Each structure stands twice: as structure tokens, then as C-alpha cells.
A = this chain, B = another copy of it.
Amino acid sequence: MESVDASLVGREIHQLITELFPICRSITGQGVRKTLAHLQNHAPLDIREVPSGTRVFDWIIPKEWNIRAGWIKDPTGKTIIDFHDSNLHVLNYSAPVHARLSLTDLKEHLYSSPEKPDWIPYRTSYYNENWGFCLSHNQLLALPEGEYEVFIDSSLQDGHLTYGECYIRGETDAEVLISAHICHPSLANDNLSGIAVAAFLAKHLTKLSLRYSYRFLFIPGTIGSIAWLSLNESQVSQIKHGLVLTCIGDAGKFTYKKSRRGDAEIDRAASEVLKRSGEAFEIREFSPYGYDERQFCSPGFNLPVGCFMRTPHGQFPEYHTSADNLDLVQPEQLSASLSKCLAILQIVEQNRRYLNQNPKCEPQLGKRGIYSQIGGQADSKLRELAMLWVLNLSDGSKSLLDITEKSTLEFRLIHNAASTLQEHGLLMELPEGT
């Protein structure tokens, strides 16, 4: 997994986000289809559709929502709110409406955020039919009394839930799952950063020789992962590792939220990468609140899937507002996120267990030319030390990641040592699951 051109790829990811930003996405509808079609320019994506009314575990695929326009006119007839200015203005999944009503009655359908008075909040009403508009609190406060006209040209009809799936075949059927949600409208960090980093990750992996097969899901949050799990239940046991990617473009420190298992290999690989990074980071225990890891880690599945973020949802002020825009996600932040994902996956790809073929005392490394010849020299012994650690702990119970943790040496160093020792017949690779 050679490294990428960080500066170039950062600009490319940001460009993709910029192109996808204006689209009005939701959990169903044309916005999702347009987004997925655009992603096909970057990664070999299949687009799948699940009909409204399909039962997926405890849930039913809802009607498909589409929207063309939405506005409010004030008592003077002036358009003061317009969907075409910002798709956040319309309550996501609003039923169609065309009515005149008093300010008091209108306010029953207006959503604003008093703590962030200049920003339009993002609100949804997927499973409870309703209509509404979102606006800045300052605008709300300035509304004069009088009769208003509201209009939403939307439709809620039988249709489909749409998602994208990209499968990259590796040496084995064992899979790594990468998932991003695609259901938010013009929000850059919460939604588009995950989508775009996942797309470039898929694009990069297609060029590599891989041990695992990789499955990328671009799905609407909650209902999308529930639908996918329901439709693919029989194959779920192939998933050996997984990451949900979200809020990965802001300037915050990296945050890894562990899988429900808490000590899955992916949890330990992510921890190892972040600990080694020299940057601030946070490792969080699993909690059943967040993104689609909630479903992947439900007790009936309990998959080894963590969530990789920069600043978690709800913890950056711009979260779920019009301020989560293209300025919040910067090219160098996006490319660094991609690099961290690759580093985590590299550990998972290279982690293996070996059996020391000469377990009684150390083998004589010197006669094989893999040890320095003059004893007692003070120069760096890290390479040799890594070989000694691998030999000492490769008793069949420990993986290279175990040895990395125990030795506190870098995984790269431990992996290189194992490769050298294996070349000299001193280690035998153990098959998975033995």
C-alpha cells in the first residue's frame, strides 16, 4: 500500500466534495442517485435499489422523497426563504404543501437554532409525515406579523431506496467493510467528507494487490445499513474488519471509536496508527449512538466495525447547520485522513501469525548475514531488536500486531523483521484461524 501524492489527492477529494455539495440528498430520491452516478467517475460502483414497502428487519423501506422547490413569501409577497438558496431550508422529507397562514400558525412549522442564530439548522422528519422550513434564528426573530404563503413542491411516493456498493476482490473472500452515509443534503463534513474519502480509498485500492476483499457501501444512514444487512445477512460472516467513515474533513484531531467488541483487530490497528502518529488523537469506547456502526455492532451482528472520524458529530459547532460548508473541509485535512485510513488498512493487510521454526534458544542470525558482525557497537539495533521480538513471541499465539504492542516498536519494523526471518526459513506463516 504505497503512499499517495498527498497534496494532489487532497485537492482532488475537495474538488469531488465541491461537485457533490449542491445536490439535495436524503435517505431516498434523485439526490442520492445523482450522487452515486457522480461517484462512478471515481470508483467501480454498483447502484442498487430496494423498493418502498420492503420489510428490512423491524423497518419498512419508506416512500421515496423528491423535491423540486420550496419557498415562503412574507405578507408583502416577497420570497424570504427559498430552497434554491439552500436545500437546508426545507425540512428534509417534507410533504408537499401550498397554503396561506398566520405567522403564529407558520411558526409551528419553522425550525431554527437560538444558540447559533446566524446559521440555518438541518432538520429531518423521515418517519412522521410533516412539512416545515428551517431558517436562521435571527431571520425568524425578524419576521413581521401577517399572512404568509408557503409552498413545497415535493413528492412522497412509492419508489426505491438507492445505495452504492463497490466490491474490490482480493486474494481471499474475507472482507473489509468501509461504509459512508450519503443521506445528508449540503453538509460538507458530516456526509461528504466520508463519501469522498471512501471513494478515493476505493480508487486507490483498485490499483493494489490485496489480501482481503474490500466492500464499500455508500448508503443512507440507519435505514441503508439496516437494508443492506437484511439483504446480505448470509454473507455478513465474511466481514473481518470494518470502518465507518464520517466527519473526516475538518481540522480537528483524529477520533477512533472502537467496535462493540472493543479489542477487535481493527480497533487495535487504528489505535496503533494514531498512537504512532505523533499528533493529538482520541480513542473512544463503543457506544450505541453515532453512525451506522450502531447497526453493524447491534448484538445480533456484533461485527468488528469501528468509526473513524476527526471531530465527532455534535462536537463541532457547525454540525448540522449551514456552516458545515466547503470551507470547513480542507484538502490537506482530507488527504491526511485518507493516509490514516491506508495506514490502518495496511496493518490489517499485513498482520499475521508466524511460528518460530527454531524456538529453542535464538537462531544464529550472524551466520545468515542478518546481524551485525562486530559485537558491542552502539549503533542503532532497532532492526535486530525487531527480529528478536518476532522470534521470541512467534509461538503461534501472537500476531505481528500483538508483537508490535508488546515491543512498542513500529508495526512496519516488526513486519519487515518477520519478512526477513521468513525469507531465511526462520518463521513459518500460520494460516488464519488456527
Q: Does residue A335 face the partner (Cβ distance < 8 Å to B)?
A: no
**How many A residues are at the interface, by size bracket?**
35 or more
Which residues of A316-375 have CB atoms within 8 Å of chain B's CB atoms? 320, 356, 358-364, 366-367, 373-375
Q: Which of B122, B376, B381 meets A121, CB within 8 Å?
A: B376
Contacts of A366 in B (CB 8 A): 127-128
Query: A320–B391 Cα gap in the complex (Å)?
Result: 26
Q: By the criterion CB–CB under 8 Å, are A361 and B127 in contact?
A: no
Q: Which of B58, B127, B289, B300 meets A388, CB within 8 Å?
A: B289
Q: Does residue A294 face the partner (Cβ distance < 8 Å to B)?
A: yes
Max chain B C-beta neighbours (<10 A), residue from A115, A300, A389: A300
Within the complex, the shortest CB–CB distance from A9 to chain B, in Å, comes to 32
Max chain B C-beta neighbours (<10 A), residue from A314, A358, A361, A364: A361
Q: Does residue A295 face the partner (Cβ distance < 8 Å to B)?
A: yes
Q: By the criterion CB–CB under 8 Å, are B298 and A360 in contact?
A: yes
Q: Which of B115, B123, B130, B233 meets A376, CB within 8 Å?
A: B123
Q: By the criterion CB–CB under 8 Å, are A376 and B122 in contact?
A: yes
Q: By the criterion CB–CB under 8 Å, are B300 and A360 in contact?
A: yes
Q: Which of B59, B367, B381, B385 meets A364, CB within 8 Å?
A: B59
Chain B residue at minimum C-beta to C-beta distance from A389:
B288
Count of chain copies? 3
Q: Which of B128, B299, B359, B373 meets A298, CB within 8 Å?
A: B359
Q: By the criterion CB–CB under 8 Å, are B122 and A229 in contact?
A: no
| Given known A-B contacts A299-B356, A392-B260, A364 and B58 have beta carbons under 8 A apart | yes
Query: A58–B358 Cα gap in the complex (Å)?
Result: 8
Chain B residue at minimum C-beta to C-beta distance from A294:
B362
Q: By the criterion CB–CB under 8 Å, are B300 and A361 in contact?
A: yes
Max chain B C-beta neighbours (<10 A), residue from A222, A288, A373, A377: A288
Chain B residue at minimum C-beta to C-beta distance from A384:
B289
Contacts of A299 in B (CB 8 A): 356, 359, 391-395
Within the complex, the shortest CB–CB distance from A89 to chain B, in Å, comes to 14
Q: Does residue A126 face the partner (Cβ distance < 8 Å to B)?
A: yes
Chain B residue at minimum C-beta to C-beta distance from A58:
B363
Within the complex, the shortest CB–CB distance from A257 to chain B, in Å, comes to 13
Main SS at interface, chain A: loop
Query: A287–B392 Cα gap in the complex (Å)?
Result: 9
Contacts of A124 in B (CB 8 A): 374-376
Contacts of A364 in B (CB 8 A): 58-59, 127
| Given known A-B contacts A376-B320, A385-B289, A362 and B298 have beta carbons under 8 A apart | yes
Contacts of A385 in B (CB 8 A): 288-289
Chain B residue at minimum C-beta to C-beta distance from A397:
B299
Contacts of A302 in B (CB 8 A): 395
Q: Does residue A30 face the partner (Cβ distance < 8 Å to B)?
A: no
Q: By the criterion CB–CB under 8 Å, are B125 and A374 in contact?
A: yes
Q: Does residue A230 face the partner (Cβ distance < 8 Å to B)?
A: yes
Within the complex, the shortest CB–CB distance from A181 to chain B, in Å, comes to 13
Contacts of A378 in B (CB 8 A): 113, 115, 314
Contacts of A130 in B (CB 8 A): 373-374
Which 8 A-B residue pairs are closest in the complex by CB-CB distance? A300-B359, A300-B360, A288-B392, A288-B388, A299-B395, A124-B375, A128-B373, A58-B363
6 CB < 8 A contacts A-B: A58-B363, A123-B376, A125-B374, A260-B392, A288-B362, A301-B361
What 4 new A-B contacts, CB under 8 Å, besides A294-B362, A298-B362?
A123-B377, A125-B374, A289-B381, A289-B388
